[in-house]
């Protein structure tokens, strides 16, 4: 699994944006369940994620298909069962909430460089809350 799979880490064919030419940023890659990448990818599409990258995340663009459409397409193409998708969504939300809190804490301590870190802390509570909602749905379907 990639570990940070999102549209921002994919190079698309300029003539056919539906075709991925490369996936970059593999330093978090590991052995694991590929559905964790799907869950994280879908979480990155949530507007609650936007403050983490100062609103510049391509994954939050309204030009991308809705989350339900992305999940449906993934299931069709991969043949994977998505009946436990809420587990992977909860995992993805909690992962990003923890990362956002780490970035926020380093910014508060003056340990980050550059701009765009002022808003990261705003994402933590909404991401954690979304993770709790997804976790509450586990086993309800």
Q: Is residue 100 part of a domain?
A: yes
* pTM of this structure: 0.88
Collapsed DSSP state (helix, strand, coil) of residue 46: coil
Q: Number of structural domains, the chain?
A: 1
Asked whether residue 3 is assigned to any structural domain, the reply reads no
Instruction: Give the confidence band of 22 by pLDDT, cuts at 50, 70, 90.
Output: very high
Give one word for 18, left, alpha or beta, with left for phi > 0 and alpha for psi -120 to 50: alpha
In a domain, 9, yes or no: no
The number of angstroms, rounded, from the C-alpha of 109 to the middle of its chain's C-alpha atoms is 26
Rounded CA separation 38/42 (Å): 6
Which tokens go with 133? 């909602």
Please tell me the predicted confidence (pLDDT) of residue 141.
Answer: 61
Residue 55 — pLDDT band, cuts 50, 70, 90?
Answer: low
17 in a domain, yes or no?
no
Give the mean pLDDT of the chain. Answer: 90
Average pLDDT for 112-135: 90
For residue 108, is it within any domain?
yes
* pLDDT tens, residue by residue, 94-103: 999 999 999 9
């Amino acid at each position: 699994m990639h570990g940070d799979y999102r549209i921002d880490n994919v190079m698309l064919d300029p003539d056919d944006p539906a075709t991925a030419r490369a996936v970059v940023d593999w330093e978090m890659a590991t052995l694991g369940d590929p559905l964790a990448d799907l869950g994280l990818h879908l979480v990155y599409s949530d507007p609650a994620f936007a403050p983490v990258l100062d609103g510049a995340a391509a994954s939050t663009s309204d030009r991308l298909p809705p989350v339900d459409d992305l999940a449906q397409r993934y299931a069709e193409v991969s043949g994977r069962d998505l009946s436990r998708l809420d587990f992977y969504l909860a995992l993805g939300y909690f992962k990003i909430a923890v990362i956002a809190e780490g970035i926020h804490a380093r910014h508060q301590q003056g340990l980050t460089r550059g701009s765009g870190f002022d808003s990261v802390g705003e994402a933590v509570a909404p991401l954690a809350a979304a993770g709790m909602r997804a976790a509450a749905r586990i086993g309800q379907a």
